[in-house]
């Protein structure tokens, strides 16, 4: 068994630390790409679903306005009442969506955990 000099040991430690940092950067990039891709799919699903629901909602709104007119409500009053109700519902839905996006976890959790482990490893190597 050959004894290694302090310089050689420090050189090895520096090389391993550099490799580890590069791997952590790659992991962080990959994790963020994965999370961004997942969020993109969710946003696309929201947009498509919203467009389809919007078309259906317009038909229902028109039917409600016509029903109110048929019940002898003045046309502009019928449209105003329905507009107020629909706007209130839409506002509540938008607020719910914004809150959901605010609470979405976009942090690279796996990278954070491995960085903690790496810090402990580096600390142990210097003992």
Query: Domain ranges in the chain?
Result: 6-125
Where residue 127 falls among pLDDT bands split at 50, 70, 90? low
Structure-block tokens of residue 81: 């009442």
**Residue pLDDT, tens place only, 50-82:** 999 989 989 999 999 999 999 999 999 999 999
Task: Give residue-wise pLDDT tens across range 6-46.
Answer: 888 888 888 988 898 899 889 888 888 988 888 888 889 99
Find out whether 67 and 79 touch, Cβ atoms under 8 Å. no
| DSSP class of 5 | P
C-beta of residue 68 within 8 angstroms of C-beta of residue 78 = yes
């Amino acid at each position: 068994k050959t004894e290694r000099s302090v310089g050689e040991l420090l050189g090895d430690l520096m090389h391993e630390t550099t490799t580890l940092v590069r791997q952590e950067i790659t992991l962080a990039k990959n994790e963020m790409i994965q999370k961004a891709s997942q969020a993109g799919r969710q946003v696309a699903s929201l947009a498509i679903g919203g467009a389809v629901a919007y078309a259906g909602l317009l038909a229902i709104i028109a039917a409600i306005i016509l029903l109110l007119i048929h019940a002898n409500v003045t046309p502009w009053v019928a449209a105003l009442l329905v507009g107020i109700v629909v706007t209130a519902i839409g506002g509540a839905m938008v607020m719910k969506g914004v809150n959901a996006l605010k609470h979405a976890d976009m942090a690279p959790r796996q990278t954070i955990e491995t960085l903690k482990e790496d810090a402990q490893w580096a600390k142990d190597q210097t003992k």
